[in-house]
Amino acid sequence: MLLAFQGAVAQGVLWGIMVLGVYITFRLLDIADLTVDGSFALGGCVCAVLIVERGVNPLLGLVAGLLVGVVAGAVTGLLNTLFDIPAILAGILTQIGLWSVNLRIMGKANIPLLKNPNIFTGFAKAAGLPQNLATIIIGGIVAASLVAILYWFFGTEIGSALRATGNNEHMVRALGVDTRVTKLIALMVSNGLVGLSGALVCQSQKYADVGMGTGAIIVGLAAIVIGEVLGRLMPGKLRSFSSRLIAAVVGSIVYFLIRAIVLQLGLDPNDMKLLSAIIVALALSVPVVWERQQLRASYLKGGEA
């Protein structure tokens, strides 16, 4: 059971990088970008092909995963900003197109990396650590670095304009900012992180599959909401931007721990998609019910006074 929990934490950290990307579009721009399912698999597929067929260094495979994710985000952004296609529909179109692109890149449905080196096995051998622990350490370093970079970026002029676009697009336009550019940048950064996460997961699980990104947006939304719910339970709550980014990664870890616990209790693995949907529904519903109860309690207290 301990090994299963270590594996869950390892996967949670790596998928947490994807969750950071989803957080940018879902919370900062208020867009549920469905490109994520395709760009996650795209990052993993490109990384696998470069390592297996081209003999590329695994680190360069991660960079390639990030870059192709940026390109995928740019496609969605251009469909939305240049042709006025609604963001959710633009994401769906890109996601559907990426399915064929990923198959074309790999030439088959999946590529194993069992005989090829990756950053996790190399570090594990060098440090004399188990694979899961090595994955947690490397994933934690990458996630912490990205949180720091994002915190810095969103404090810059461009980053502040991006955040303001999500809060009040009309006001930002009145200030002379081209919101089409800010949306495009946000989608590119978001999917770049998603592609990087896909490349990391690909190396961790030692294979790439054309369907490895299916349901990624659900995982991302669930992790974000779980992180926010946990933040509300904390004494000081999560008010700073950096703490919200950290909460997104923590939410991903908790999500995978929940999945591991349920599987240990004997749930059929074929029911995992249903479980994921239930977790998201509960995570989205509980805060609403809680706020209504708090509001009702305040009204009753005011009436008694």
Residue bearing the bigger pLDDT, 286 or 129: 129
- Three-state DSSP class for residue 112: strand
Q: pLDDT tens digits, residue range 30-87?
A: 888 999 999 999 999 999 999 999 999 999 999 999 999 999 999 999 999 999 999 9
Q: Can you give the pLDDT at residue 8?
A: 93
pLDDT mean over 114-129: 92
Q: What is the CATH number of the domain that holds 165?
A: 1.10.3470
The first and second tokens of residue 23, run together, are 């957080």
Range of the domain at 68: 2-304
Q: What per-residue string of b and e applies to 105-143 under the rule 16 or more CB within 10 Å gives b?
A: bbeeeebebeebebbbbebbeeeeeebbbbbbbbbbebb
Rounded-to-integer distance, Cα 200 and Cα 4, Å? 19
Q: Which residue has the tokens 């609604």?
A: 86
Q: Can you give the pLDDT at residue 299?
A: 82
Q: Is the pLDDT of residue 280 over 80?
A: no
The first and second tokens of residue 83, run together, are 């042709």
Q: pLDDT tens digits, residue range 227-275?
A: 888 877 776 656 688 899 999 999 999 999 988 888 888 878 788 778 7
| Dmax (CA) of the chain | 74
Please give the tally of structural domains in the chain. 1
